[in-house]
Every structure is written in structure tokens, then in C-alpha cells.
Chains A and B, each alone.
Chain A
């Protein structure tokens, strides 16, 4: 496709420092006002701090500060077994626990070469797409709340999220921290009653997306505040390692579900929405369109799910010692590319356990997008990146 080719063809001829932020000169020679936005801040994304230097209302410099939720997941994982780390992966991106579990299970299956039975793959896809749906709905809800619409779209989004969390609770026993995936399959099988309940919920989702769309997409205030704000060009996005809806909003056709074809995603017929401008409005629209594509995948998966076992019969959960080696496995999580890099030395604990956090790497370009804008736009741009601090700091 010409879009994906053009961004890298001209990178070689760029001068040194093309991928650094373009600094702005302050007007006049007064002092800059330095504001620390965070770590305790009304925007609901968690404990994150941005040190901004302002010239009046314009942002001249922005430095993010991380580490306020650094919970040492990687160090703890070196001391417990492979399966013992599975509940910790739930707490990484705590709005989408299922996809975190899936990424870890996929990385371990790449390391050991285990096969996953078909029914388990379908269950993974169903739960993964339900997670993606409620994540995008919540993300849009939080973004609109930061814009000032104190709570109403968020209430609608959380109403659907509660329906989906009820399904998770019926199946796995927990609303949020489900701990559902295992190396070689899933933990619990879904009963026909659960599948019927899911079909009913999924049948009601298009109406919700239409309602959300009608409420928000052509809203005057939304369009005035988000169009042209926080523009990210495609070549900088690829060079900075940005993935997920943020990358596709800049026009780059890279969805790991289509590129890697992990699981059984190549059986489903779905489209990948792309944006034109790379601004906040595009990111919002991409998430809305991806919600519709998730519904498409869900209806197909719920129709075709076969019966069968849900765990690889050769899998051993006790005394699990993979052979020495390493593997990097990644999936298209709702926030971007979530990858796990595991090094095994033949023991029961991993030698090195590394998480590639999409939220942290998507924040690399936060400074680029915010320079020159007003401080009120910083909150919106930051909200459109859609981060979760549990993943940024691990």
C-alpha cells in the first residue's frame, strides 16, 4: 500500500534530529511559568506527572515523569513460577485484563511450542473482543469527561461495561482480575447458557454504538476542540514505536491481528479503520469504528464456535519447566502492541521477564504533539493517547 511505503522511503534522506521534538521559541523574554500537572490530578488516568513550561497559555516544554505506580512486576516475576505471574499480568493494564493474560500465554506458547485447541482459540477471541469493546467505550467516556461533559458519556460507557463484566463474572468468577488464560488454552469452559447470554449482550451492542455515535460524533464542541489538535505524522509515529489506534489514526495500516495473524484472527472478516489527519478527533473516531468491527468479529465467532477441549492435553501445569531459550510474543491489545519477552534457563522461574508496554511507548511523542498548543489541549491530547498507569510503570 502506498501509505505504508511512503513514510519509510524518505526517512533515509532526513537530516539528523528529524525525529526530535520541534522546539518553539517563547514570545518575548519573560519568565516561563512551570507547572507540575500531576501526580494527583482530576483527569482520571492515574498517577502521572507532566512538568510543563508555559508561555502564557502555550506549552513550550513538556517532560513526563513516570514511576509513581512502579510495582516491580518484572522483579517479582523472576522469583515466582511462570504460572504464578499470570495473576500479576491482570494488574498491568487493569481495564483489559484478558488481553494481558493472552499476550503472556502467547509468549509462553511461543517459547514452548504448545498448541491451543480450537475451542479455546474461539473463547480467547470472544473474550478479547469483548474486552476491546469495553476498553474503547471507557476510553471515549474518559476523554469526553476531560473535555467537560462531566460524566454522562462515561455513564453510558460504564453501563455497557457492567453488562460485559457480568459475563466475565459468570464465566471466570471475577469481574476484573480474571486470570483466565493458561499456557495451552483457557481455564474454564463456557457453558451453552453463557454463550446464549453473550449472544444476547452482543445483539444489544450495535444500538449502544449508534447511540454513542449520534451523541458525540457531530457534536459541535467536540469537533471544535479536537480537530487539528495534537497532530501526529505517520513517519514520526512509526519511528517512535507508536502502535494501536494511535498509529492507525495517523494513517498507517498496521494491525497486529492482520499482520501476525496470531490465534485464529485470519478466519474472521473484519476491516481496519484508518485515519487521515492523526489528530485527537481521528483517534476518537478510530476507537468508535473499532468498536463496530469488534461487534462484527464477535458475531462471527459466536456463530462458529466449535465444541471440544479447552486445554492442550499434553500441557503440564505442575512442574512447568520450559527448555532454555527465549521468545518474544505480541498481540494487538486495545492500547497497542503488548509484547512479552521471556528468557528461560530451564528452571521453574523465568530468568528474564520483560513486558513491552504500549502505553509507555505511545507517550514518547507526547511532547511533540503538545508543543505549541494551549495547556487546556494538553489534557485532551493526553486523554487521546489512552494510557493506563499500571502498564506504563508496571
Chain B
């Protein structure tokens, strides 16, 4: 049974220059993960599969996750020149002032791989890889040449999230039709408006349903006309 630290040490010993860091999992399950830099992912994956001690020959699950852009409001202490009157004389003094700043932390897309070992019967070993951002730099290396079970699952992550896996033998949409343009599982996806009468509508559904309703007393044309 290997712990995450031992696996990280083994990877760094075998693949020099590998960017591996441990991501602790605060829940009780104790399934901590290893975040890989995308450039070294294929070499690390080959090592994990072919190593005699680890023998992680079974890729169980590939998941896509969407971390949207977050707007963070924080209070920052800065030194600013402020003009004050000191003993009747106007002077500019450096003072420490607290101001609230808003910044946009860019989001990204993430792919998570769960590995098991059928030969040694242990697991799971969790690998993670993050893209640079959510809009145009969404490539990650595909692990399909190493574990065949990633073939359909990476296609599904491409379909629903938009992560482009370079090196995948056949990257097309899996679940949605080919002409479909959006990536539905993303957090900012807005569903098409199929009007349906909703008896207990609230929040977003209520706003959309109200657009289809006619005002008081006037029998009007229905939706979409």
C-alpha cells in the first residue's frame, strides 16, 4: 500500500523534472490526488503503468470538472500618500489605508483520472490536470495511448466540457449530435427555452416562464410567436 507521498517520490525519481504536487482531500475518504503538469503527463503515466511495484494498469474513471471564473472581493492594506494637516501645516504623509479590491481569478477546466492496479489489487490513485483557461487554451495531453479505457471517456469530456485532448485517436462528440455547438456541462451553459408550463416555478424558471405568459385579461398569442 503506497501513500501519496511515496508515489510522488517514486515519480520524481523516475521522471526527472516532472511537475507533481499533492492536493489534499479534506473529506474522510482520504483519497488525496496528485496534480500533474500537462507537459510531463505522458511520461508519468507510462511510468505509473509499467512500474513493477505500482503496476497501475487499470484506468477506472475520467472526469471533467468546470471551475468558473471567480470574482474575489478582498480587503488589502496599501500605503498611499495622503494629505493631512499636522500641527497646522499641510503635508503629504505616507499612510496605511485599507481598501476593498475586486479581482477576477481566472477559471479553468480540470480532468481527473482514477487509477487502480489489478495486478497488485490496490487503489485508487487520483491524477489531476488543469487547463490554462476556459476559453482558448483548453488543451491537455490524451492518455488514451497508455490506457485504452480513456478513449470514450475523454471523448465525453470533450463533448460536455470542451477540453481538447491532443493525441486522441478519434476526438469527436460522444453523447450530443455532431452539429451541436455548446458544451452543456459547463456552469455557464444556458439551456434552450423549450416552453413547458411549470406549475410551481421559482427563480430562473419563473423568469423564463413569465416571458411566455400574457398579461392580465388579454388572450394573446402563446410562446415563440
Complex contact flag A–B (Cβ < 8 Å): yes
Determine if A328 is an interface residue (Cβ-Cβ < 8 Å).
yes
The residue in chain A whose Cβ has the minimal distance to the Cβ of B55 is: A8
* 16 cross-chain CB contacts under 8 A: A8-B57, A11-B49, A20-B148, A67-B176, A72-B184, A110-B28, A238-B118, A241-B149, A242-B149, A254-B118, A324-B26, A326-B29, A328-B124, A356-B61, A356-B114, A360-B153
Q: Are B63 and A112 in contact (CB under 8 A)?
A: no
Determine if B197 is an interface residue (Cβ-Cβ < 8 Å).
no
Q: How far is the CB of B48 from chain A (nearest CB, A)?
A: 11
- CB within 8 Å of B: which residues of A? 4-5, 7-8, 11-12, 16-17, 19-20, 66-67, 70, 72, 74-75, 110-113, 236, 238-242, 252, 254, 259, 322-328, 330, 337, 339, 341, 343-344, 352, 354, 356, 360-361, 363-365, 393
**Residues of chain B from 140 to 171 with CB closer than 8 A to chain A in the complex:** 145, 147-153, 169
Q: Which residues of A contact B61 (CB under 8 A)?
A: 328, 339, 341, 354, 356
Q: How far is the CA of A343 from the CA of B173 in the complex (A)?
A: 25
Q: Which residues of A contact B150 (CB under 8 A)?
A: 241
Decide: A325 near B147, CB < 8 A? Known: A11-B57, A252-B118.
no
Q: How far is the CA of A238 from the CA of B119 in the complex (A)?
A: 10
- CB within 8 Å of A: which residues of B? 25-29, 31, 49-50, 55, 57-61, 63, 65, 112, 114, 118-119, 121, 124, 126, 145, 147-153, 169, 173-177, 184-185
Dominant SS among interface residues on chain A: mixed
Q: How far is the CB of B166 from chain A (nearest CB, A)?
A: 16
The residue in chain A whose Cβ has the minimal distance to the Cβ of B58 is: A238
Q: How far is the CA of A81 from the CA of B185 in the complex (A)?
A: 17
Q: Which residues of A contact B147 (CB under 8 A)?
A: 239-241
Q: Which residues of A contact B50 (CB under 8 A)?
A: 11-12
Q: Which residues of A contact B148 (CB under 8 A)?
A: 19-20, 236, 239-241, 364-365
Q: How far is the CA of A176 from the CA of B184 in the complex (A)?
A: 30
Q: Are A337 and B60 in contact (CB under 8 A)?
A: yes
Dominant SS among interface residues on chain B: loop
The residue in chain B whose Cβ has the minimal distance to the Cβ of A394 is: B175
Q: How far is the CA of A238 from the CA of B28 in the complex (A)?
A: 29
Q: Which residues of B contact A326 (CB under 8 A)?
A: 25, 27, 29, 31
The residue in chain B whose Cβ has the minimal distance to the Cβ of A75 is: B185
Q: How far is the CA of A341 from the CA of B114 in the complex (A)?
A: 10
Q: How far is the CA of A5 from the CA of B119 in the complex (A)?
A: 5
Q: Which residues of A contact B121 (CB under 8 A)?
A: 254, 259
Q: A12-B49, A326-B25 are in contact. List 15 more A-B contacts (CB 8 A).
A: A4-B119, A7-B118, A8-B119, A12-B50, A113-B27, A254-B121, A323-B26, A327-B29, A330-B60, A341-B61, A341-B112, A356-B114, A360-B153, A361-B152, A365-B148
The 10 closest A-B pairs by CB, nearest first: A325-B27, A241-B149, A113-B28, A12-B50, A327-B29, A67-B175, A240-B148, A356-B61, A19-B148, A70-B175
Q: Which residues of A contact B145 (CB under 8 A)?
A: 16-17, 19
Q: Which residues of B contact A364 (CB under 8 A)?
A: 148-149, 151-152
Question: Which of A67, A322, A339 touches B60 (beta carbons < 8 Å)?
Answer: A339
Q: Which residues of B contact A365 (CB under 8 A)?
A: 148
Q: Are A70 and B149 in contact (CB under 8 A)?
A: no
Decide: A328 near B31, CB < 8 A? Known: A11-B49, A17-B145, A67-B175.
yes
Q: Which residues of A contact B177 (CB under 8 A)?
A: 67
Decide: A354 near B63, CB < 8 A? Known: A67-B175, A67-B176, A112-B28.
yes
Q: Which residues of A contact B151 (CB under 8 A)?
A: 240, 364
Q: Are A352 and B60 in contact (CB under 8 A)?
A: no
Q: Which residues of A contact B28 (CB under 8 A)?
A: 110-113, 325, 327
The residue in chain B whose Cβ has the minimal distance to the Cβ of A19 is: B148
Q: Are A325 and B26 in contact (CB under 8 A)?
A: yes
Q: Are B60 and A241 in contact (CB under 8 A)?
A: yes
Q: Are A70 and B176 in contact (CB under 8 A)?
A: yes
Q: Which residues of B contact A74 (CB under 8 A)?
A: 185
Q: Are B169 and A20 in contact (CB under 8 A)?
A: yes
Q: How far is the CA of A360 from the CA of B50 in the complex (A)?
A: 26
Q: Are A328 and B175 in contact (CB under 8 A)?
A: no
Q: How far is the CB of A11 from chain B (nearest CB, A)?
A: 7
Q: How far is the CB of A85 from chain B (nearest CB, A)?
A: 15
Q: Which residues of A contact B58 (CB under 8 A)?
A: 238-239, 241
Q: Are B31 and A239 in contact (CB under 8 A)?
A: no
Q: Indicate the member of A75, A239, A326, A337 with the most B CB atoms within 10 Å.
A: A326
Q: How far is the CB of A6 from chain B (nearest CB, A)?
A: 9
The residue in chain B whose Cβ has the minimal distance to the Cβ of A64 is: B152
Q: Which residues of A contact B65 (CB under 8 A)?
A: 343, 352
Q: How far is the CA of A328 from the CA of B112 in the complex (A)?
A: 11
Q: How far is the CB of B140 from chain A (nearest CB, A)?
A: 17
Q: How far is the CB of B99 from chain A (nearest CB, A)?
A: 29
Q: Are B57 and A239 in contact (CB under 8 A)?
A: yes
Q: Are B60 and A111 in contact (CB under 8 A)?
A: no
Question: Which of A72, A75, A361 touches B153 (beta carbons < 8 Å)?
Answer: A361
Q: Which residues of A contact B26 (CB under 8 A)?
A: 323-325
Q: How far is the CB of A171 from chain B (nearest CB, A)?
A: 30
Q: How far is the CB of A355 from chain B (nearest CB, A)?
A: 9
